[in-house]
Every structure is written in C-alpha cells, then in structure tokens.
Amino acid sequence: MAVAPPVPTSFSGGVEAIVLVMLLTEFAMLRAPLARSQIRLYAFQSLGFSGLAVSVAATQHLDDLYVLAALSFVLKVVVVPSIVLRLLRDARVDLAGSNRLGVASMVLLAIAISVFGFFVVGSLPVHARSLPTATLGLAAAMILVAFLLVILRSDVVSQAVGFFSLENGVSVASLALAARLPLIVEVAFLFDLLVAVVVFGVLMRLHHGRSQTLSTDALDRLRG
C-alpha cells in the first residue's frame, strides 16, 4: 500500500502558502479587466514577497534580508504602483485593452505552461536550500505566467505589470536558491526595476500622447 508523504512543518507550509498566493495573484493579473486592478494586484504580490523575505530572514538569521524586505516594500508596494497609477490617471484609460484569447483559454494555457515549468524545475538537479522544494517550481511557474501576461494582453500596462511581476518571480527563485546572495546584487535587481519603470513610463506617455490609447494594437499607426 502506498504511504502518505509526511506533513510539512508549519514554517514550510506557511512559506509555500505565501508563494502560492503570489502565483495565484499572477493568474489574477492575467484575467483582471481593469488596468488599475492589475497594478493593485502587483502591489499585493510584492507585499507577499516582502513577507517572504522577512520570514526567511527571521528563520535563517540573515539580517541583510530585512533590508531587502524593507527596500522592496518601499519600492514595489508603494513607489512603483503609485507612479504607474498616476500615469494611468493622466491617461484616463480604465480598461486594460483586449485579450488575444478568452479568459478561460488563457487560464488553461497558463495552467499548462505552469505544469511545464514545475516539471522542468523538478527534473533539474538544483534544490531550494533555504525554502521548501516546491517554491522553486512555483517561482518558475510565476515567471512563465508573467511571460504569458506580456504576450497575450495587448496593452502597455499589462506588459509593464508583466515585466514587474516577472522580477518578483525571479526574486522568489533567488531567495529559494541563494538567500545569502550579497545585498548589493539584490539591490541591483531593484534598480533594474526602477529603470524599467522609467522606460515603461516614457512608453506609456509617448504612446498615449500619439495614439490616445494604451493598446499595442495601435503601435503600427506610428509607422512613418
């Protein structure tokens, strides 16, 4: 008779639950009809990441991670979402634009691609050291779904949010693999994010200024 696997401890269960909620938020971003709600979901996901960093810092006694958690809270939960929300308010666009697929098919496709990510990561000879094993697979799924968000939603906001949340997925993977990464490297990630915000901000302003829409379907109107 098959034997049931052991029950995870409440720490690893809790950590997995946080990462799962982050992945589910990614799915919610994929289907959110309003640009504003996508950005709020991103802020919520980043909050999850900060919580994750704090819990790893507390259990592994890595003081650097407290700094990372605080920095990413300020940047990703407060600054970046408020900048993008302000840009959106100026643009006066509510709907995040058309999808290339129906919601149910998008979610099914995302499920398929997450399963792929799970199995690929599971077959690699790498193991999460500081977090439970499943978090690495979940982070891979998060990254792949973020790609899908960028590909399937045809508007600038979704592409920006997809890119930002991609960074969240990469950060979770880095926490799982190498929590002892020097702080300077982690902070460099965050500065990359700031650069991306500036780039996407310029893109949103310019695109909206020229074509009065945020949909990338209108990009070909810019041909000279």
Partner 1 sequence: MAGVELAPTTIQVLQVLTVVIFAPALSGVIARLEARLQGRRGPRVLQPYYDLAKLFRKETLVPQDAGWVFAAGPVVAFMCYLVVPLLIPVLTTFPLPLGYMGDILGGAFILGLAGFAVALAAAETGSPYAQLGSSRAMTFGALIEPSLLFIVFTVALVTATDLPYFQAAATRASLSSTIRPAHLLAALAFFLLVLNDTGRIPVETHASTLEFGMIDEARAFEHSGPLLALLKWGSSMKQLILYVLLINVFAAPWGLAGSRAVGSVLLAIPVLLAKAFGVGAIFTVIDNSFSKLRLFKITEFMAAAFLLAILAVLVLYLGGG
Q: Which residues bind partner 1 (CB under 8 A)?
A: 1-10, 12-14, 16-17, 20, 23-24, 27, 31, 102-104, 107-108, 111, 114-115, 118-119, 122, 132-135, 137-138
Nearest distance in Å: CB 24, partner 1: 8
Nearest distance in Å: CB 120, partner 1: 11
Q: In 65-152, at which residue ranges do the beta strands (DSSP E only) sit?
A: none
Nearest distance in Å: CB 27, partner 1: 6
Tell me which residue of 41, 44, 63, 45 sits closest to 54, measured CA to CA.
Answer: 63
Nearest distance in Å: CB 201, partner 1: 32
Q: Which is nearer to partner 1, 133 or 216 (CB)?
A: 133
Q: Which is nearer to partner 1, 30 or 166 (CB)?
A: 30
Q: Which is nearer to partner 1, 3 or 184 (CB)?
A: 3
Nearest distance in Å: CB 98, partner 1: 16
Q: Which is nearer to partner 1, 102 or 224 (CB)?
A: 102
For the chain, state the CA radius of gyration: 18
Q: Which is nearer to partner 1, 30 or 91 (CB)?
A: 30
C-alpha distance from residue 162 to each of 86, 133, 146, 155 (Å): 18, 25, 5, 11
Q: Which residues, 6 or more positions from 99, have their beta carbon under 8 angstroms from its beta carbon?
A: 106, 152, 153, 154
**Phi, psi (degrees; rounded to nearest 5) at 96:** -80, 10
Q: Which is nearer to partner 1, 104 or 184 (CB)?
A: 104
Q: Which two tokens stand for residue 118?
A: 């799970």
Tell me which residue of 41, 19, 20 sits closest to 32, measured CA to CA.
Answer: 41
Nearest distance in Å: CB 1, partner 1: 7
Helix (H, G, I), strand (E, B) or coil at 121: helix
Number of CB atoms found within 10 A of residue 199's CB: 12
Q: Which is nearer to partner 1, 106 or 166 (CB)?
A: 106
Q: From CA 160, how far away is CA 84, in angstroms rounded? A: 9
C-alpha distance from residue 114 to each of 6, 26, 83, 108, 111 (Å): 25, 11, 30, 10, 5
Nearest distance in Å: CB 14, partner 1: 7
